[in-house]
Amino acid sequence: MENLFVICAILMLVCWIVYGAVSIFKGAGKTGKEMKDGLSLLKTVIDLFVVAENQTFVNECKEKNPNGKLTEEQSKEAKQRVTSNIMECLEKSDLLNDVMDIFGVDKDDEDSSLSAIISTMIEACVYENKGIAIPKLSTTLEPLASFASWTVDDDDEDEAEDEE
């Protein structure tokens, strides 16, 4: 019985090692440059669809509206049209699989994750096309450098205790 347990444990260990190696090599299939090129291509595709939608649907709606702006419904419709055009384009190419690999999207649950990624990228392209600066998260600690020079003055508490 003990021999059977040892054999099963060894087999499980070997399977775990093989699974880990396959996962590593599968993830390492794309280089950083390939991933960057894929994201750049996706951004370009999204930007083209956003610009095309602006030139057709959005500008016509703005001209018809008395205040020259889109209504909330028109804005939602424009975004939905762009999203469906992008998804249709991606489904006909290998770029969809590349995007899913880059972002680690589970292919079985692609709807929720992928639509969130595409939606965010559409919003970024809209802001860019309007000339609105998109706030970017700093990846350095430089903004926090001023906090490092702060000193805590404990003397006030010590003086209060001495007076008592």
Q: What is the pTM of this model?
A: 0.58
Residues comprising the chain, all counted: 164
CA distance 7 to 78: 61
For residue 162, pLDDT over 60 is answered with no
Q: What confidence tens digit (pLDDT) does each residue in 116-152 have?
A: 778 888 888 888 888 877 666 555 556 555 655 555 5
Nearest to 79 by CA among 149, 100, 71: 71
Percentage with pLDDT > 70 across the chain: 62
Nearest to 100 by CA among 92, 84, 89, 111: 111
Structure token digits, residue 31: 């280089």
